[in-house]
Amino acid sequence: MNKRALIFLYICSFSFIIAVFVFYGSVGKQTPGGESWYLGEKEIQVFETYQQAEQERYAIELAATLSAKQASQDNFQADFEKRFGQYLKEYSLEAEKYSFTYQTSEGTMTIVGTTEQVLEFKEERYIYTLTPEFSITIPYTGESTEEDESSTTTEGVVTF
């Protein structure tokens, strides 16, 4: 093999390797919006926010269950709403903005709480919103109150 061609091949190979490192080293700075994220990093952050929102929704549902179990059987609805309102203060929500549907059947009561209030989770590149509605069923031996049970949708929304 020709010595000049071999030297030229070494120079080209070395230059190609340097060009690859320079290109991948500066790719994040050249993308619109600044540094790029690793593959799947954005999805992981959205999922972590979703988990945080679900933990808060679960805590509100547990607060409703605890309020219902602690409420007196004599004046159940008023006592439940008062106790539930005390728990909601921690989440900056108002119990007055909730509407409750009570349905009793065969020794149980189902309570559905609906609201227009929204919990917002703001992150750097997106906002996750959640309507903290709930549906619980507890044992109940008080008077029968039949009301229509409304269907609730409790899904959050991600906005980029």
Pair of tokens at residue 100:
């409750």
Rounded Cα distance, 146 and 136, in Å: 16
Assess if residue 29 is contained within a domain: no
Look up the domain containing 47 and give its range: 34-159
Whether 95 maps to a domain, the answer reads yes
Residue 26 has φ and ψ, to the nearest 5°, of: -110, 5
Least confident range of 70-74, 113-117, 130-134: 70-74
- Burial (CB count within 10 angstroms: exposed 0-12, middle 13-18, buried 19+), residue 101: middle
| Confidence bin at 15 (pLDDT 50/70/90) | very high
Instruction: Give the model's pLDDT for residue 36.
Output: 60
Summarize pLDDT for 85-113 with one digit per residue, the tens. 888 888 777 888 888 898 888 888 899 99
Is 60 inside a domain boundary? yes
Q: Is residue 28 part of a domain?
A: no
The CA–CA distances, whole Å, from 127 to 11, 19, 25, 57, 154 equal: 51, 39, 30, 17, 17
Q: What percent of the chain has pLDDT over 70?
A: 79
Question: Does 143 map to a domain?
Answer: yes
Of residues 142 and 30, more confidence is placed in: 142
Domain count across the chain: 1
Does residue 16 belong to any structural domain of this protein? no
